[in-house]
Chain A
Amino acid sequence: QSVLTQPPSASGTPGQWVTISCSGSSSNIGSKNVNWYQQLPGTAPKLLIYSNNQRPSGVPDRFSGSKSGTSASLAISGLQSEDEADYYCAAWDDSLNGGVFGGGTKLTVL
């Protein structure tokens, strides 16, 4: 059981706009920044969004993040086939004094 809650799956067609949600509590998302990671099949996770809505260099602006209260969202616009991957949200948790991840969302591009 993950501390952060994500839907196990999401899907969309090429060109579509897709969102993935991440729900937490006051000890993590409610008071700390949220990060998102993309894991392509058979590879290591890659940082996609940090500090709620910041994109590292090289990440396309099709990817965006937002946070409100104890929930966060990852949005992908202009969905492409290469976006098919697992996506994880993460945050620091003050109660655990450690990092926590969501269970991951498998994105399928139909």
Chain B
Amino acid sequence: QLQLQESGPGLVKPSETLSLTCTVFGGSISSTSYYWGWIRQPPGKGLEWIGSIYYTGTTYYNPSLKSRVTISVDTSENHFSLKLSSVTAADTAVYYCAIDHRATYGSWFDPWGQGTLVTVSS
């Protein structure tokens, strides 16, 4: 049973770069079956897809965040990472990683990590 766990600083200063890692347990991140995704949820608000990556490094980003987002994969460490630059208070959110299942007519996220709250504040 694949499980994912997010890790990283819970507090980031404005204008700096948010960095999170998602470690995969119970399976290989090099699986050809899955993509690996990041989703966030501001406090009291809805979900927003940030982007997804394949083990080969192929990435898809939310157009609204694309200029500030980098998602990378480290197959030797069995984890993938998120970097979000030039953060503001609007980037304060719970950040989730999840397995992104791709199919012919769409994709879905399952399972999800427990999430990690990142607060942007000086």
Enumerate chain A interface residues (CB-CB to B < 8 A).
2, 31-35, 37, 44-47, 50-51, 56, 88, 90-92, 96-104
Most buried by A among B60, B103, B108: B108
Cβ contact within 8 Å between A101 and B49: yes
The answer to whether A104 and B96 touch (CB under 8 A), given A32-B105, A51-B106, is no
> Is chain A's binding surface mostly helix, strand, loop or mixed?
strand
Tell which of B13-21, B25-33, B77-85, B110-118 binds the partner: B110-118
Complex formed: what's the CA distance from A101 to B62 in Å?
A: 12
Size of the chain B interface, CB-CB below 8 angstroms: 26
Most buried by A among B47, B48, B51, B96: B47
Interface residues of B in 20-56 (CB under 8 A from A): 37, 39, 46-49, 51-52
Q: Which residue of B is nearest A86, CB measured?
A: B46
With beta carbons under 8 angstroms apart, the residue of B107, B110, B115 that contacts A56 is: B110
Sampled A-B contacts (12; CB under 8 Å): A2-B46, A35-B106, A44-B113, A47-B109, A47-B110, A92-B107, A96-B62, A96-B63, A99-B109, A101-B49, A102-B46, A103-B46
Chain B residue numbers with a CB within 8 Å of A50 are 101, 108, 110
Complex formed: what's the CA distance from A45 to B98 in Å?
A: 10
With beta carbons under 8 angstroms apart, the residue of A51, A98, A101 that contacts B47 is: A101
A interface footprint on B54-92 (CB within 8 Å = 1, 0 otherwise): 000000111100000000000000000000000000000
Chain B residue numbers with a CB within 8 Å of A102 are 46
